[in-house]
Amino acid sequence: MCPPEDAAAPAKAVLGSVASCAFASAACTGAFVDIAFEDGARFRFHALWLRDACKDSVHVVKAAGERILTMIPVNNACVTDAFAATSAAVDAETGILTVCWNNSQVPSMFEGKYLRVFADVVAMPLEDAAAASETPSDTTTSASASSAPPPPMVDFSDVSWLEPYTGFHEAPAPRPAHLTYYGGDGVAGLAPASSFPRFDHDAVLADPLQKIALMHDLARCGVCFVDGGPHNETD
């Protein structure tokens, strides 16, 4: 999803402390793009996030702030394990970062300020990435790891369940195989209402796979339960 303009509001404080949001350098490593900024910060961005968040004039209608549907990743063979960045270069005159992709689509262009605003939220500091790669594997399972819910059993390489929601007028209706129909417990041919999918609130927030599984099951079933959510004590 392309972040809206006001999504950067919480990051205005970050910009106030940043000496310069300009790009210093960029290099692609397949599924990731490593970007250094003039303020000294260095981050690793996921290639698919960059492709999805691009808001240049080829991907977003500036005047309306609307995405061009023919350019969204799901309609351009981007949501696959093979998708990767092939090059990343900063123009010395304009300061614009241009990233090219391996699926022969048009490149994506970014301004330094835009990516620096979101870097602390969506990207991994390169110091953390280096530490993760140098940390020896530990075969001992921690208590927190053992208590974490298992990854959802969803084939994320198949995104056909998203086709009805692309926004195109010729988009197909959801396929019967992608829907689960519910009825009262014991109704023949219908799943019991007591079997609606359930998710743990903290796990959904922490695990991208859990987020996608929640979206998948919500589209499939129409209803999901999220357990362990925070209580709103003011309303």
Which of 202-215 are b and which e, b meaning 16 or more Cβ less than 10 Å from the residue's Cβ? bbbeebeebeebbb
* Token pair for 137: 């594997």
Instruction: Please give the pLDDT value at position 87.
Output: 93
pLDDT at 182 over 70: yes
Whether the pLDDT of residue 162 is over 60: the answer is yes
**Given a cut of 80, is residue 130 above it in pLDDT?**
no
The pLDDT of residue 75: 63
Measured CA to CA, the distance from residue 202 to residue 71 in angstroms comes to: 33
Tens-place pLDDT, residues 73-108: 766 667 777 888 999 999 999 999 999 988 766 899
Contacts (Cβ under 8 Å, ≥6 apart) of 130: none
Residue range 190-207: mean pLDDT, rounded:
84
Question: What is the reported pLDDT for 141?
Answer: 39
pLDDT reported for residue 32? 93
Specify the pLDDT at position 96.
94
The pLDDT of residue 77: 67
pLDDT of 144 higher than 90: no
- Distance between CA atoms of 125 and 43, rounded to whole angstroms? 4
- Average pLDDT over the chain reads 76
What confidence score (pLDDT) does residue 216 get? 86
The percentage of the chain sitting over the pLDDT mark of 70, rounded to a whole number, equals 70
Most confident of 114-123, 138-147, 189-198: 114-123
Q: What is the pLDDT of residue 148?
A: 44
DSSP the chain: -PPPGGGGGGGHHHHHH-S--SEEEEEE-BSEEEEEETTS-EEEEEHHHHHHH--STTTEETTTTEE-GGGSGGGTT-SSTT--EEEEEE-TTT--EEEEETTSPPPEEE-HHHHHHHHHHHSEEHHHHHHHHHSPP--SPPHHHHHSPPPP---TT--GGGGGGS--TTPPPPPGGG---EESTT-TTSEEGGG--EEEHHHHHH-HHHHHHHHHHHHHHS--EEESPPP-S--
pLDDT at 72: 75
* Higher local confidence (pLDDT), 232 or 224: 224
Q: What pLDDT does 100 receive?
A: 92
pLDDT attached to residue 67: 80
**Residue 3: per-residue pLDDT:** 47
Cα–Cα dist 80/73, whole Å: 10
Give the Cα separation of 218 and 30 in Å (integer): 32
**Range scoring the smallest mean pLDDT among 61-65, 140-144, 195-199:** 140-144
pLDDT score for 44: 94
117, 92 contact by CB (below 8 A): no
**Which is nearest to 217 in space by CA: 196, 201, 191, 193?**
196
Residue partners of 68: CB distance under 8 A and separation at least 6? 58, 59, 60, 61
pLDDT in the model for residue 76: 67
Query: Residues 196-204: what's their mean pLDDT?
Result: 90
DSSP string, 36-49: EETTS-EEEEEHHH
From the list 228, 205, 225, the residue with the least C-alpha distance to 217 is: 225
- Residue 74 and residue 164 in contact, taking contact as beta carbons nearer than 8 Å: no
Per-residue confidence (pLDDT) for residue 139, from 0 to 100: 42
